[in-house]
């Protein structure tokens, strides 16, 4: 049996008064998710272990079966792996957002929805200026607003605030702090305080450089949000991870499909082939049909396992856009799940399908929360439970009950 996980990043939510007290999954028109819930077996899953921030890197790698206490190194190294940047053992790799700040506050974590080609100009400019001024610093272009900052001999024991968790907050109060005291064991790395001081200096100097760049000057003249500050976070060293094939021998060949660097990075270390889909953006305008077609083709080409990740709902949640997030859920259902299910249902070899988010990103909070998520597992012949709809409330009664972390992947891959 082949296996496919379809993940709607941040899709889960809270009850919303504007929707009559329903969650978005309860309110949305999603016939295929509901059909899979009725035909399959559901439950809830804790995706974030105690002591960890509910980030997508933690939740997605937990869903794939990884113990965060063994493998977690932050988002930065995953971004590096995705874009093919080979880290040295003493490199500190950080996710580097280009964000928008106004009147001393973080307005958006995405620089006004930067396009990659525009961001590339800004990142190269920062590398030509700050990278030359500070020789141990390198900026590397990623996708849209998500980029890579590498500090040679940097220290990972620092406190960096994820910008998407702090909309409308004063950014000066959120700057990098060393995790003290310095307790040794950091051989090959500069001190925690020196690392924090360097990163804060880069943040401060980036504001003047970016605001005076012609790209942002033109944006300001048009009344658009500027991409006017860097924000490094999610730092770590190169992780040591087993591949999924080593963990689950039934996976002899697998793929990951995502527009997001950190998911591609997890896939790289997990030994999965990264499939790049034209028009996949990580936003609501992503190419759902292209991702569905790529997943179907991967299974036809002999993959035993495919991980399809769609970022759109998470971005809409961070923007606080209720209508857009509803649309992303409906698009996932009808433009991605539908064609995949309709195709694999005709095959002789059965395909086991799982649908779930990695964490909730409630539109009225605009940030990730550490709460269980609902999931579906379906394959031909499964004994269904009593659940008839897919949402946060219905799945409380699911036959799987409440699973913890790696238990999901263990249960999923045990289906043969």
17-75 pLDDT, tens per residue?
999 999 999 999 999 999 999 999 999 999 999 999 999 999 999 999 999 999 999 88
Confidence at residue 75, expressed as pLDDT on a 0 to 100 scale? 85
pTM (2 d.p.): 0.82
Nearest to 154 by CA among 238, 83, 231: 238
Confidence at residue 261, expressed as pLDDT on a 0 to 100 scale? 86
**Alpha-carbon gap, residue 299 to 255, rounded angstroms:** 9
**Averaged pLDDT, 274-294:** 96
Long-range contacts, 279-287 (Cβ 8 Å, 24+): 281/144, 282/143, 282/144, 282/146, 282/311, 282/312, 282/315, 283/113, 283/144, 283/311, 283/312, 283/315, 284/312, 284/315, 284/316, 284/324, 284/327, 284/328, 284/331, 286/259, 286/310, 286/311, 286/312
Task: Tell me the per-residue pLDDT of 170-224, one tens digit each, with 9 for 90 and over.
Answer: 999 999 999 988 877 788 999 999 999 999 999 999 999 999 999 999 999 999 9
**Averaged pLDDT, 236-253:** 95
Place of tokens 């990951």: 256
Q: Rounded to 5 degrees, what are φ and ψ at 245?
A: -65, -35
Confidence at residue 143, expressed as pLDDT on a 0 to 100 scale? 85
Domain boundaries 2-71+241-414, CATH class = alpha beta
**Alpha-carbon gap, residue 197 to 37, rounded angstroms:** 51
Percent of the chain with pLDDT over 70: 100
Q: Rounded to 5 degrees, what are φ and ψ at 71?
A: -120, -15
Task: Tell me the per-residue pLDDT of 65-107, one tens digit each, with 9 for 90 and over.
Answer: 999 999 999 889 988 988 889 899 999 999 999 999 999 999 9
Domain spans in the chain, listed from the N-terminal domain onward: 2-71+241-414, 79-237
């Amino acid at each position: 049996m082949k296996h496919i996980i379809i993940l709607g990043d941040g899709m889960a939510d809270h009850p919303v008064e504007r929707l009559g007290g329903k969650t978005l999954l309860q309110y949305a028109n999603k016939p295929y998710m509901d059909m899979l819930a009725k035909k399959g077996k559901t439950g809830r899953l804790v995706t974030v272990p105690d002591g960890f921030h509910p980030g997508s890197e933690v939740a997605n790698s937990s869903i794939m079966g990884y113990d965060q206490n063994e493998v977690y190194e932050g988002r930065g190294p995953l971004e590096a792996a995705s874009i093919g940047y080979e880290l040295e053992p003493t490199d500190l790799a950080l996710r580097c957002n280009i964000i928008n700040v106004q009147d001393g506050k973080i307005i958006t974590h995405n620089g006004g929805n930067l396009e990659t080609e525009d961001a590339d100009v800004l990142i190269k400019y920062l590398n030509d200026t700050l990278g030359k001024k500070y020789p141990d610093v390198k900026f590397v272009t990623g996708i849209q607003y998500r980029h890579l900052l590498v500090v040679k001999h940097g220290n990972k024991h620092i406190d960096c605030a994820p910008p998407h968790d702090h909309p409308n907050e004063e950014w000066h109060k959120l700057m990098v702090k060393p995790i003290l005291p310095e307790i040794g064991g950091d051989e090959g790395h500069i001190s925690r305080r020196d690392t924090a001081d360097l990163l804060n200096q880069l943040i401060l100097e980036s504001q003047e450089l970016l605001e005076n760049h012609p790209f942002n000057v033109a944006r300001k003249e048009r009344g658009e949000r500027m991409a006017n500050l860097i924000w490094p976070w999610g730092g770590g060293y190169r992780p040591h991870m087993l591949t999924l094939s080593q963990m689950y021998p039934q996976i002899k060949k697998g793929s990951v499909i995502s527009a997001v660097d950190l998911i591609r990075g997890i896939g790289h270390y997990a030994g999965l082939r990264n499939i790049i889909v034209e028009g996949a953006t990580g936003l609501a305008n992503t190419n759902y049909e292209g991702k569905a077609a790529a997943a179907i083709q991967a299974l036809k080409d002999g993959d035993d396992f495919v991980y399809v990740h769609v970022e759109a709902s998470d971005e809409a949640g961070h923007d606080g856009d209720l209508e857009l997030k509803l649309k992303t859920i409906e698009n996932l259902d009808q433009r991605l799940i539908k064609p995949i299910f309709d195709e694999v249902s005709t095959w002789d070899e059965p395909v086991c399908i799982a649908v779930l988010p990695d964490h909730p990103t409630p539109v009225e909070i605009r940030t990730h929360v550490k709460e269980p998520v609902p999931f579906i597992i379906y394959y031909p012949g499964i004994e269904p439970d009593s659940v008839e709809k897919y949402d946060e409330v219905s799945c409380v009664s699911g036959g799987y009950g409440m699973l913890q972390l790696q238990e999901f992947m263990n249960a999923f891959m045990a289906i043969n």
